[in-house]
């Protein structure tokens, strides 16, 4: 090695070491703060990275660079695994840009909190108590000593599921006449987009391009459904899927409510759209059943659609609004207030109606703290959707039905669109970007912050019940 190069390599080594130490100090400082700050800093940093990548001229198919409002919107949508986009993905973005979006979906799907904890382990070679508490909240782990192992299991589980989905899609793309390389790429892209509930597509017309292909629709719907259950549920099912008695309360509630919502959603959509000539009226029985089931799964946060949302009846829009607002399972890639929140609120209302002191289900009692947390999450969700709708109505001047649908889709990180994202001015797209960010980040930080704030007073005020109802 020439003597002149050695000093340069030595300086590079010292600079690299200093950089690693600085990164470790930043991670430790952020991780020692509140979960809300960790989530906010992590999400913001990752979004900014992908905004920078999508701003590069190589990411855009046209001359120069993409519009900044489009870049911000798509970067937030991909990292928050939403799927809303004001442009046609395969026409607007280059192969490099689509690869960046795919990477953003994967990062967002794994979960920023999970990745932050893993990065802290990799850089600082340790996971502090506060980091374990935050990671435990993100992954629903009870044993803090097992958090590090659980984080690795989460990553392995996600990647394994995506490989399985890609393996199921690959032969079908080949059978449709795609070349080997294209079939492989489509399989990988749609497996990542489906399992992470992102809803991005790269074919003309979106998922309507495959409306006549039951295999692709069923595989994508199954991937979306499983991905929306949440990592704790997937891990429990993988360990004890033959022994339902071993399932914890969270798993039982998530599966029960999820299946009930899909069945109810499919039944209502079939009732309202069966004779609609613009959507399902001209299609055969089994094709209609297939698309109705597919449409009932997607509001959980999938975002794929075989029908044009604008052609559906307003009653169907309202059904989809409710399903998107509820979303999927906790600690999953889905958005919304989560199915367990809905379950706890319904159980609390039922217990109150029956005059019971305790809220119980599956021979388990639900604590008052959990009920209060569910109420808080619900109220924040309602306030976000109402506030966002008011602002979007003022900015876009579009009908309430379409605006409410788009706002709910953004908050629930669903990705189904009524066309508002495309028709909105730049100000409206920034508003929707904030809603997607809030929808993905808000319930996580709220649940984490409230779960760690368990204060006890040394006194209690006299009890008095105001008139309710």
Alpha helices in 298-425 (DSSP H): 314-326, 339-353, 368-396, 400-411, 420-423
The pLDDT of residue 9 is 56
User: What are the tens digits of pLDDT across the range 401-420?
Assistant: 999 999 999 999 888 998 89
Let me know if 157 is exposed, middle or buried by CB neighbors in 10 A (0-12, 13-18, 19+): middle
The SS3 assignment for 281 reads coil
CA dihedral 168, 170, 176, 181 (to 10 degrees): 170
Which band of pLDDT confidence, cut at 50, 70 and 90, is reported for residue 102? very high
The pLDDT of residue 189 is 94
User: What are the tens digits of pLDDT across the range 307-320?
Assistant: 888 889 999 999 99
The average confidence (pLDDT) of the chain is: 81
User: What are the tens digits of pLDDT across the range 181-204?
Assistant: 999 999 999 999 999 888 899 988
Mean pLDDT in residue range 250-278: 91
**Cα(116)–Cα(208) distance, integer angstroms:** 37
CA dihedral 247, 249, 255, 256 (to 10 degrees): 120
- In this predicted structure, the answer to whether residue 118 has a pLDDT above a threshold of 60 is no
**Cα(325)–Cα(411) distance, integer angstroms:** 7
- In this predicted structure, the answer to whether residue 215 has a pLDDT above a threshold of 90 is yes
Mean pLDDT in residue range 170-180: 92
The pLDDT of residue 103 is 92
Which residues have a Cβ under 8 Å from the Cβ of 415 and sit 6 or more positions away?
Answer: 77, 82, 83, 84, 197, 198, 199, 200, 301, 302, 303, 304, 409
The pLDDT of residue 188 is 94
The better pLDDT of the pair 441, 345 is held by: 345
**Cα(101)–Cα(54) distance, integer angstroms:** 8
Domain boundary assignment for the chain:
17-452
What's the pTM value of the predicted model, to 2 decimals? 0.83
Mean pLDDT in residue range 224-236: 84
């Amino acid at each position: 090695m020439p003597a002149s190069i050695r000093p340069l390599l030595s300086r590079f080594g010292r600079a690299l070491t200093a950089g690693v130490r600085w990164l470790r100090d930043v991670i430790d400082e952020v991780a020692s703060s509140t979960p809300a700050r960790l989530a906010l800093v992590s999400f913001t940093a990752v979004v900014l990275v992908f905004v920078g990548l999508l701003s590069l001229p190589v990411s855009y198919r046209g001359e120069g660079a993409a519009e900044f409002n489009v870049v911000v919107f798509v970067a937030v949508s991909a990292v928050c695994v939403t799927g809303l986009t004001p442009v046609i993905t395969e026409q607007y973005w280059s192969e490099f840009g689509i690869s960046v979006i795919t990477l953003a979906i994967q990062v967002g799907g794994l979960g920023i909190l999970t990745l932050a904890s893993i990065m802290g382990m990799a850089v600082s070679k340790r996971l502090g108590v506060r980091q374990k508490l935050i990671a435990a909240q993100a992954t629903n782990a009870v044993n803090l000593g097992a958090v590090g192992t659980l984080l690795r299991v989460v990553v392995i589980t996600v990647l394994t599921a995506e490989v399985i989905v890609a393996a199921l899609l690959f032969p079908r793309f080949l059978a449709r006449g795609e070349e080997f390389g294209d079939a492989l790429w489509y399989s990988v892209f749609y497996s990542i987009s489906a399992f992470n509930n992102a809803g991005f597509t790269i074919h003309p017309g979106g998922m309507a391009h495959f409306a006549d292909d039951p295999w692709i629709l069923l595989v994508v719907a199954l991937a979306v459904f499983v991905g929306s259950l949440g990592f704790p549920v997937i891990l429990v099912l993988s360990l004890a899927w033959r022994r339902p008695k071993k399932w914890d309360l969270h798993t039982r509630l998530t599966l029960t409510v999820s299946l009930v919502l899909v069945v109810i959603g499919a039944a209502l959509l079939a009732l309202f759209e069966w004779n609609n000539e613009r959507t399902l009226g001209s299609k055969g029985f089994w094709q209609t059943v297939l698309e109705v089931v597919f449409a009932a799964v997607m509001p959980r946060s999938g975002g794929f659609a075989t029908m044009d949302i604008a052609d559906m009846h307003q009653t169907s829009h309202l059904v989809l609004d409710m399903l998107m607002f509820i979303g999927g399972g906790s600690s999953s890639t889905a958005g919304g207030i989560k199915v367990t929140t809905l379950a706890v609120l319904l159980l609390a209302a039922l217990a109150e109606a029956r005059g019971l002191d305790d809220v119980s289900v599956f021979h388990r009692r639900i604590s008052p703290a959990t009920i209060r947390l569910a109420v808080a999450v619900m109220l924040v969700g309602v306030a976000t959707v109402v506030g966002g709708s008011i602002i979007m109505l003022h900015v876009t001047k579009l009908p309430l039905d379409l605006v409410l649908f788009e706002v709910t889709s953004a908050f629930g990180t669903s990705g189904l669109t009524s066309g508002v994202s495309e028709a909105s001015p730049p100000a409206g797209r920034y508003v929707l970007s904030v809603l997607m960010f809030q929808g993905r980040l808000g319930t996580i930080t709220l649940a984490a912050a409230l779960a760690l704030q368990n204060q006890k007073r040394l006194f209690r005020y006299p009890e008095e019940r105001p008139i309710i109802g």
